[in-house]
A and B are shown apart, each in its own frame.
Chain A
Amino acid sequence: MTSTIPAYDPAVDAPAHHHPIYDYDSGPPVDRGKFAIWLFLATEVMFFTGLIGAYLVIRMGAPSWPDPGKLLAVDITAANTFLLIASSWMMVRALDAIQKGDKGGLTRWLGFTVIGGAVFVGVQAYEYTILLQEGYLPNRDLFWSTFYAMTGFHGIHVCAGVIWMFLIWLGAVRGKYDANNYVKVELAGLYWHFVDLVWVLLFTVVYLM
């Protein structure tokens, strides 16, 4: 009985990668997506700290400052804040649903979250329209410059979050996620809660103080 050794065929026998293959995971003991999103959120913290910090420095050094309650619609914005917090809560419910394997619950709660975020942006756009019609342009004075800078950048983040969650919702409608595959939903949720968290601070600092 003879055995023949097959000739070396690079297309078959060559290793696909030059990277060494370890028998252990060399990454951090946390999901890479979650690690990345928290790293991104850390940079976002610094971004908004720069904006809010500049506002505080300017305001603390100002001999006088307009009363925001007389210039801004605090009641409408308070209702809008309720809406954003509710939207954040709906996101938590959406993640809870898919972690339990409830695909219908994910689609439903995620849809409510997207609607909540879109309405928030709509109300902010309405507020901007009224203010601009009354002549309160960003270059009017430092109060309005800082107001538009902070709320405007936050609004852009909300828009990005609405688009992101809408895409996640489309995937949910197609049944893309289940109890073992929900990391993308969780990452979008973390971003959305962060946007909510920033607004809680902005509402206090800009509208109430």
Chain B
Amino acid sequence: MPILTVKKMQLFAPMKKKRAGRKQSNLFTYVLLLVGLIVSVYPFYWLFIAATLNDSQIFQLPPRFLPSINLFTNITNLQEKGPIWTTFANSLFIATTFTVLTVYISALTGYAFAKFNFRHKELLFFSILVTMMLPQQVVMIPLFKMMTAIGWQNELKAVIIPSLANSFGVFFMRQNMMNVPIELLEAARIDGCHELSIFHRIVLPTVYPAMAALAILSFIQQWGNFMWPLIILQDQSQMTLPLFLSMLVQPGQVIQYGEILAGAVIGVLPVFLIFLFFQKYFVSGVYGGAVKG
């Protein structure tokens, strides 16, 4: 019975009323989104503003909303604190090399798992799945001992090479290569095409979006990698930029926020640029990692 009445009510309710309800819910949505936007963007805005302020301007009430003129002073002062540009170059080198290598190696391995049958394939794939779930911390102590033993402490390759054991990357590429049509590969084989050139000329071009997605995720992840570099890179000139900045805010020293935040701005720019250019792939990568991972 009550359902009937509701239906009747709806019949009698003029269209206008429904519209008003929709407008109200739209208003609520706009308010929600606007709050979300302000909360998300404000720390970035503040980061960029604060990079141009000196410390007394950063710590003033009410908090400042407009930029000042101290950006270059801050950067110059930061240069005197330590090799900021060297650490920036280190970060770029580590993140770029890691990204290129991990995407290529993951594609090679993922291709074999997606399109070939070989002995122990299931067991090997299972080992990849298992290691994907282990927390990174469990391998850090033996890795640290190993790096010290082979003299890779304070070397950039100590960050790059162990992280190439990227199980997620292999899994991600394998999932995306499952759909490459086998007929295409067979046709190339009949034409006498070499296996490696089939991979380079046929397989890779068809999974380009997936490679782009994995590349962006890998770059951002490696750029923000903190704990392992903290352990293995103690020499200031070998540090990554985030690690170098984190050393400047350790307890027991005078913290010069303006300088540090100017350094932080330099540090967020590469990721921002990459995101702006490859936004499309970024979202598909995050989602692909979620649904397929």
Co-assembled chains A and B: no
